[in-house]
Chains A and B, each alone.
Chain A
Amino acid sequence: MLEFLRQLGSSGMQVAATFGRAGILCWQALWGLPDWRAGPGLLVRQVYFVGVYSLIIIIVSGTLIGMVLALQGYTVLVRFGAEAALGQFVSLTLLRELGPVVAALLFVGRAGSAVTAEIGLMKATDQLAAMEMIGVDPMKRIIRPRLWAGIICMPVLAQVFNMVAIWGAVAVGVNWLGVDAGSFWSNMQQVVEFREDVLNGVIKAFAFGVVITWIAVFEGYDAEPTSEGISTATTRTVVYSSLAVLAMDFLLTAVMFGVH
């Protein structure tokens, strides 16, 4: 019994310590903008690696998800003769939920894991320690640009995802299944509100970006400096960020679209 309590206490303290270390890292990293004396190059380079490289997977999966949504929505709606409502069905689903969430999950797999592995390897090969020795703050040089790059990229990727997904839905719904283009767009425009739907989606994507990159950067920085440590850290990044995204999505949805 006492042994059980001891284990519970020790694991609880470990969890608290981990959260504390993550908070300190975030505080130190976000304390300022990326070091401008080193030029904006660091941030630009990270946006390139984190954002531009994720673009292909975002565009391809966005198109496919839009096409699937249109196909499934059409088969249900056509039974009620309401296939003209396909536009609003697809656009609301995407803007409010699927766009930010699926883009975030893809972003976790594509960019979050890479950031963790990169920082973890830097730590394992003592590059971070070497930087400190020559007087370069790894927090400024390594952590901060990656954190900001993730925060900038996530909303952009989510909006691109929404755009191509709606185009995919147009391709299937209008061009293939023959929903009238006019009623498709006008139904969509009548229902979708800019502030309520589009901006809330952007806020969601922004929040996901903060959490994903925070977890990714922290897990890399906190990884055990061995090859196993890096692999567990990468796995943890993917698992924790995915769960965090889904849980936060529920909370944000409840706050944004819930019953007031």
Chain B
Amino acid sequence: MQQRKIEIAVGVFILLGLAAMAFLALQVSGLSLNAAKRDTYRISASFNNVAGLTARAQVQVAGVQVGHVTGIHIDPLTVRAVVDMAIDEEVDYLTSDSIASIKTAGVLGEQYISIAPGAEPDILGEGGVIYDTQSAMVLEDLIGKFMNSLGNKP
């Protein structure tokens, strides 16, 4: 009887550990069980400067998240940053003349990509490339320009 009680307590203990693990995985790290099932397609865009954009950053259309950045690498030929993005399957209205720009949420917030669809009839599909891009706004560059323009005044 005593042994049985101990075994039950240990069972509860192990179960509690597994529950904690599941909580940390699902609720805290946002690991989604059906993440693999959710269909996405891949597009890419190249920027002059991504200035702190990271993988897993959001991709938004009109402020609504439609996907995320899967990876960033440098194209050795053009020496531009190529950003790979996974876009949800149901977002099928990104035209081939869409404009992708890197924006910052707030002054100190994180970087995200905002896509503004254009008017072309062609729709971007798997492996599509956005050619029209706007690089990240680099605060230091802006300040530098501002200082220069001050210095040039007679």
Contacts and interface: CB of A to CB of B under 8 A. Distances in A.
Contacts of B23: 163
B28 A95 contact: yes
B20 A47 contact: no
Interface string B5-31: 011011011101101110111011111
Q: Contact size class for A?
A: 20 to 34
B86 to A, nearest CB: 15
Interface string A66-105: 0000000000000010100000000100010000000000
Given A44-B7, A159-B20, A185 B27 contact: yes
Contacts of B17: 155-157, 159-160
A52 B13 contact: yes
**Interface class of chain A by DSSP:** helix
Contacts of A41: 3
A80 B109 CA distance: 12
Interface of A: 41, 44-45, 47-48, 51-52, 55, 80, 82, 91, 95, 153, 155-157, 159-160, 162-163, 166, 185, 188-190, 192-194, 197-198, 202
Interface of B: 3, 6-7, 9-10, 12-14, 16-17, 19-21, 23-25, 27-31, 56, 108
Closest 6 pairs (CB-CB, A-B): A189-B30, A156-B17, A159-B20, A163-B20, A192-B29, A194-B29
19 contacts: A44-B6, A44-B10, A45-B6, A47-B10, A52-B9, A52-B12, A55-B16, A80-B108, A91-B28, A153-B13, A155-B17, A163-B19, A163-B23, A188-B28, A190-B56, A193-B29, A194-B31, A197-B29, A198-B21
